[in-house]
Amino acid sequence: MELDEKIELAAKWISDSNNLVIFTGAGISTHSGLPDYRGPDGVWTRRDKNLPPPKSLPWDQVKPNAAHYAIIELLKIGKLNYVISQNVDGLHAKSGIPFEMLAELHGNRYFMKCLGCNTKFTYEEVGWDKSIWGNGYRTDKVHRGQPNCPKCNDRLISSIVNFGDPLPSDELEEAINRSIRSDVFFVIGSSLVVYPAADLPLYAKKNGAKLIILNRGEIPLIFNPDLRFHEDIIDVLPQIIEKLKEIEEKD
């Protein structure tokens, strides 16, 4: 199929859907100035070649890009059911996706969470000073005097999930349920090699969803998408949304 035919088909499937789930990886944030991990110039790709990490913008300069706002357009026209992200950059929330429609499976660099009641707080809300108490990762040493949860007084940790840490059980469970119920599951910017997050497209497809994958890098053959885009996300996703709007206006 030609690219314009694939764009039209993706828009048609989304238009016909009742439970569209978007699943994003690091590739969606590259146009915000953040590197991906397994792309041609990704963090792990360069590491494996004994090269220094790719350059990245300072966090206070990182903003959502056209791909994030294309997803917001899906929300505005009522076609978005849920967003599942592997990213910790917080850009989906910054773009306007409400937290009740968002599972950040690997955490959010701007939030801490309580190990007791699971409530999330910004670092500022709890008075956590990283220069004194560090990042607050799950495996970090507990420091004397560090803030506890203002709600239940249990330990606060960074919401970021590092290698070896468990995924947030509540968000993972919700993501699994949403994936199973989806009728279109759209993967954007993920190489689908990090589990258990990468199981979610398989849950969706097993239960009858159409699987669309938009990612420039290679993906494992097991996923066998119904529609595959290899182009740059910025070149494709906004076009799908514009085509979708045309279809919706005709209906």
Residue 123 shares a structural domain with residue 184 = no
Q: Please report how many Cα atoms fall inside a 13 Å half-sphere around the Cα of residue 170, on the Cβ side.
A: 11
Least confident of 37-41, 103-107, 202-206: 37-41
Give the Cα separation of 219 and 159 in Å (integer).
27
Residue of 31, 106, 143, 230 marked active site: 106
pTM of structure: 0.91
User: For 198-229, what is each residue's pLDDT tens digit?
Assistant: 999 999 999 999 999 999 888 988 999 999 99
Tokens of 194: 């990090």
- Active site (annotated) includes residue 230: no
Q: Which residue has the tokens 């991990």?
A: 37
Tell me the CATH number at 41.
3.40.50.1220
Give the Cα separation of 15 and 99 in Å (integer).
24
Residue 156's nearest CA partner among 129, 130, 120, 105 is 120
Cβ–Cβ < 8 Å for 69, 81? no
Residue 88 shares a structural domain with residue 209 = yes
User: 22 vs 74, 149, 168, CA distance in Å?
Assistant: 10, 32, 19
Q: What is the tally of structural domains in the chain?
A: 2
User: For 147-164, what is each residue's pLDDT tens digit?
Assistant: 999 999 999 999 999 988
| Residue range of the domain that includes 139 | 111-159
